Amino acid sequence: MKRLGFIIMIGIFLFNYLNGIQAQSIQLKPALAVNQKLIRSINENWDETTNQWVKISKTEYAYDANGNNTLINGYNWNNNTARWVDDFRSVYTYDTHGNNTLLINNLWDEASGRLIGYSKDEFTFNAVGNRTLWISYLWNKAIGKWIGSIKKEYNFNNIGDSTSDIGYSWDNVSSQWIGYLKNDYTYDVNGNMILLTGYLLTGNQQDLYNKGEYTYDINWNLTLKINYIWDIISSQWIGLDKREYTYDVNRKNTLDIYYQMEETTGQWVANSRTEYTYDAKGNRTLYIVSYWDLTTGKWSVDVKVEYTYDANGNNTLYNSFLWNKTNGQWSAFNRLTNYYSVPITIFNPEILNVYPNPAIDYVVFEVNKISKSATVEIFDMQGKKVIEKKLNENGQISISNLTRGMYVYWLNNIGTIYTGKLIVY
């Protein structure tokens, strides 16, 4: 439980980060919006002896003027002193485009009685915001230096899909990066990834290692994922596990069933299933995890999580329960309470409309209060600048010289930056 707060923090960060990677192209800045930030989370466990909630950890968040999360402080509850004590600190740095370029994690050191460096991650992005490089370091207390740990290089095609990445580990003997894993990605005509092929690298040689196959429905929802491992003895792919996904009419994932391959029979055997429930606004309100009981041949419920939201749609409470087989009831286990900043209603008259999108010969950037010095830059998905022009009064620019594909635009209007994706037919 020592690092539970740190784990929860990472989970929240990844959830917010991944759900934020969406192109905005029609109306990038809402005229009226409620701006709130998560500022504190408190994690508690249920004590069955005292029948009360017991504090475990606390996480606090800070942001810069652009709304980027710059600092996360984690604390553990000390029962002896009844006080919060330092556990970890994560510091984030961003470039002018809002890309997270540096993350430094510090952990509390009991011996020195202070927070000391634990890990450092450096990120590099191309002009269109694709991450092209990630380098991770670990702090070596003995020599007082950051030591390379893992490096990953990413490659993209002309529409921004990741086509491959190569993982490296730092070799202390030779003091250089040694490639150890390569992943190749294949997509269908709709841009959905349908195949991942992994290779182990040894010098200039690459050997098959793992494979992932992905299937989608007509709405482009992922419905099936199967993972394989390469068997060098039989020279064939051996199934490891698979997941089946079901969705409702709103394209919300309602069911996830996980299977593992039974080696002796070569058959898929059900392992777990997760059922999801949503409210009318599309917020997830409940999920229940069940495990397949080989003895009874039935699903056995195990974990339940309930979500609560405020009037602004902020997730304010996670309640976790464990199934008690003895009394056949749910027992409280854990809860996470989230606190947000005071709501601020923002009025921004500068609305950007980009049309037509998709476009063929021209595109119009329509902005209220446009400046005579406003400029538009368009990049292909490799980060190469293909157009840079000042906007005229009607905001129209020609794209007839661009080949078919996806592009990213940056519009600078007196220091206000708008960005989004543009599709050219």
Mean pLDDT rounded to a whole number for the chain: 89
Kindly list the distances between the CA atom of residue 99 and the CA atoms of 55, 281, 395, in Å, as whole numbers in the listed order: 34, 29, 27
pLDDT at site 13? 41
Per residue in 92-141, pLDDT tens?
999 988 899 999 999 999 999 999 999 999 999 998 889 999 999 999 99
C-alpha–C-alpha distance, residues 276 and 352, integer Å: 36
Per residue in 140-183, pLDDT tens?
999 999 999 999 999 998 778 899 999 999 999 999 999 999 99
pLDDT band with cut points at 50, 70 and 90 for residue 24: very low
Per residue in 308-362, pLDDT tens?
999 989 999 999 999 999 999 999 999 999 999 988 665 555 568 899 988 989 9
Q: Which residue, of 346, 365, 394, is where some domain finishes?
A: 346
Domain assignment of residue 1, yes or no: no
C-alpha–C-alpha distance, residues 132 and 123, integer Å: 8
Q: Record the tokens describing residue 278, joined without a space.
A: 């949503």
Return the H-helix or E-strand segment holding 15: helix 4-19
DSSP type of residue 321: E
Domain assignment of residue 15, yes or no: no
Q: Which residue, of 346, 373, 389, is where some domain finishes?
A: 346
Per residue in 355-371, pLDDT tens?
998 898 999 998 877 77
pTM over 0.85: no
Q: Are 254 and 382 in the same domain? A: no
Domain boundaries, position 84: 28-346
Q: Are 73 and 180 in the same domain? A: yes
Q: Which residue, of 346, 362, 392, is where some domain finishes?
A: 346
- What 3-state DSSP class applies to 388? strand
Q: Are 74 and 169 in the same domain? A: yes
pLDDT at site 348? 53
Domain assignment of residue 18, yes or no: no
Q: Are 358 and 219 in the same domain? A: no
Any idea what the CATH number is for the domain that residue 177 is in?
2.40.128.720
Q: Is 208 exposed, middle or buried (0-12, 13-18, 19+ CB in 10 A)?
A: middle
